[in-house]
Chain A
C-alpha cells in the first residue's frame, strides 16, 4: 500500500523560498503511469492544485503559480520535492503531496484524480 509523507520547515520568512519533500513508501516513484502532485489548502479555504512531476522529470504547473514553482525528483530516495519562491503570507497553507493518475494528452498530460494523499504539512509564512 503506497503511503506519502510530507516534510519540511513549518515556518518560512517572507520573500524566501519554501521547500518541501514528499517521501513515498510502499511503491516506487518511478513506476510508470503515475505522476506526483503537490496540492495546498489555505487556512479555512478550499484546495488548490500546484502542479505535478513525472519520474522522467517532466512537469506541469498551475499557471497562476508557474513563475514561482520548481519541482524535482530523487528516484533513488523515493522522493519528490517542491520549491516555491518569493513567498508571502498568502502562501501560508497546508501542503499535501499526492499520487496522480493522468489522462494522456498533447502537449501535456492532464490530471484525472489524486490517490493516495499525504497527511499534509502546515507551512506558515511570517517574519
Chain B
C-alpha cells in the first residue's frame, strides 16, 4: 500500500480535461517536489512533470502539475486517445527514507 494515494481511474471524452490527484503527507509531498510519469504497459514509462510543475522538453503544455499542501495534481487538457495510459506520481518520503510512487491512475478516453 503506497503512502501516496491516487484514484484508480479517471475518464473523459476526447478534447475534455482530466485531473489526477496524488494525496500524501508532510513527510513526502508536503516537503518535497513531485514528479509524474505516463506509462503505457509494455513500453518505457515517460517523465511528464518534474519539480512539481515543470515539463521536460517535448512534453506538450496540455500536461500541467500543481501542488497544494500535501496533495499534488496532474492536469491533462485537450484529451487525446493517445493519452490512454497509467499515470504515476512520485516523491521522496523523508520519514521512510525512500522514494515512493503513487498506486497509479488509469486514464480512459471515452
Judge whether B56 is part of the interface by a CB distance below 8 angstroms.
Answer: yes
* Interface mask (B91-110 → A, CB under 8 Å = 1, otherwise 0): 01000111111111000000
Q: Which residues of B contact A4 (CB under 8 A)?
A: 44
- From residue 23 to 81 of chain A, which have CB atoms closer than 8 A to chain B? 46-49, 62-64
Judge whether B73 is part of the interface by a CB distance below 8 angstroms.
Answer: no
Judge whether A112 is part of the interface by a CB distance below 8 angstroms.
Answer: yes
- B97 and A112 contact, CB distance less than 8 A: no
Total interface residues on A, using CB and 8 Å?
23
Q: Which residues of B contact A111 (CB under 8 A)?
A: 92, 99
Q: Which residues of B contact A48 (CB under 8 A)?
A: 101
Judge whether A95 is part of the interface by a CB distance below 8 angstroms.
Answer: no
Which residues of B does A touch, CB under 8 Å?
2, 32-33, 35, 37, 43-47, 50-51, 56, 88, 90, 92, 96-104
Q: Which residue of B44, B99, B103 contacts A49 across the interface (Cβ within 8 Å)?
A: B99
Min Cβ gap A123→B in Å is: 16
Interface centre among B47, B98, B102 (most CB of A within 10 A): B98
- B101 and A46 contact, CB distance less than 8 A: yes
- B45 and A46 contact, CB distance less than 8 A: no
Q: How far is the CA of A7 from the CA of B16 in the complex (A)?
A: 40
Contacts A46-B101, A64-B98 given: A114-B35 contact, CB under 8 Å? yes
Q: How far is the CA of A113 from the CA of B45 in the complex (A)?
A: 12
Q: Which residues of A contact B96 (CB under 8 A)?
A: 63
Q: Which residue of A46, A112, A116 contacts B51 across the interface (Cβ within 8 Å)?
A: A112
Q: Which residues of A contact B44 (CB under 8 A)?
A: 4, 96, 116-120
- B104 and A112 contact, CB distance less than 8 A: no
Q: Which residues of B contact A119 (CB under 8 A)?
A: 43-44
Ranked 8 nearest A-B pairs via Cβ: A115-B47, A113-B35, A49-B99, A113-B50, A47-B101, A117-B44, A110-B92, A46-B103
